Amino acid sequence: MTAHIIDGKVIAQNIKNQLKQKIKALQAAGQRPPCLAVILVGNDPASEVYVGHKKKACAEVGIESRSVTLPADVTQATLSEHLRKLNADPAVDGILLQLPLPKHMKSDEAIDLISPEKDVDGLTPYSQGLLNWKRPGLTSCTPLGVMELIYSTGIDVKGKRAVVIGRSVLVGLPVAVLLGNAGATVTSINSKTVNPAELCRQADILVVAAGVKHMVTGDWIKPGAVVIDVGIHRDGQGKKLVGDVLYEDAVAKAGWITPVPGGVGPMTIASLLSNCMTAYERRSQR
């Protein structure tokens, strides 16, 4: 058996195409497009690349993007001031604070300042609380993308056994909540879990967000399972991207699997654009 490949690029492009048509219709009706403000602090090369990808994706669908670029030695107070201004700006629908911040800064303090209605990364405690209460809010982009990838397989999540490796507030915790809200029975695995492979072998749906290269091998996977690999690492001399799952092993065991790259990554950006549109629509309806 060889697993079906879940093509995140194709699914993400479909989402972007739908957003593009929505925004064209808005502009044809004389309305402004949604606006996303991205704050980049410092000159971390990876962060600069990610911000570039996000700005390009915004342009592709017609979302206006604003950039706030601050030096690495900026004070917490100055960053806070920029966040408050963006919160108060009626022309800004979404605010994205690119992480990580420089070491002298407090990420939690900055995230807490983002208005929940503009929290397109779904990172504020308020947004995460709404998710736990099953109330409308903005969901973290990667978890939102993970769920779309799972739904694309056509399986019914209700009643399925799901295992999530990793419990970060960015991915693992919200994915576990979303799967539970969808009716799955969820087990969350962390670094202290005893016999993680045994638990994984029971999973109809396995989401791996451990941040450990090739942690999950083929013998961890239940035959026919849906495997979503959130991890991304440089392999060898840095020329090849690989995930938390040993793909060559897993593809022979799983029923469905995401590749790295081309799986979760494109969906994260598509979900960001979708969240920006959602934030725009909710603010327009007030």
Predicted local distance difference test score (pLDDT) of residue 97: 97
95 - beta bridge partners? Answer: 37, 119
Predicted local distance difference test score (pLDDT) of residue 199: 98
Q: Per-residue confidence at 236, pLDDT binned at 50, 70, 90?
A: confident
Q: Per-residue confidence at 46, pLDDT binned at 50, 70, 90?
A: confident
Cα distance between residue 208 and residue 105, in whole Å: 29
Q: Is 227 helix (H, G, I), strand (E, B) or coil?
A: strand
Predicted local distance difference test score (pLDDT) of residue 106: 97
pLDDT tens digits, 174-207: 999 999 999 999 999 999 999 999 999 999 999 9
pLDDT tens digits, 208-226: 999 999 999 999 999 999 9
Q: Which two tokens stand for residue 225?
A: 């399972």
Cα distance between residue 141 and residue 133, in whole Å: 18
Q: Per-residue confidence at 142, pLDDT binned at 50, 70, 90?
A: very high
Residues taking part in catalysis: 54, 98, 121
Which pTM value belongs to this model? Answer: 0.94
Render 128-173 in DSSP notation, one character per residue.
HHHHHTT-S----HHHHHHHHHHHTTT---TT-EEEEE---TTTHH
pLDDT tens digits, 98-128: 999 999 999 999 999 999 999 999 999 999 9
- Burial code of 67-89, b = ≥16 C-beta within 10 A, e = fewer? ebebeeebeeeebeebbeebbee
Q: Where do the domains of the chain lie, and which CATH numbers do they carry?
A: 30-115 (3.40.50.10860), 141-265 (3.40.50.720)
119 - beta bridge partners? Answer: 95
Q: Where do we find the tokens 């109330």?
A: 135
Distance of CA 13 to the CA centre of its chain: 16
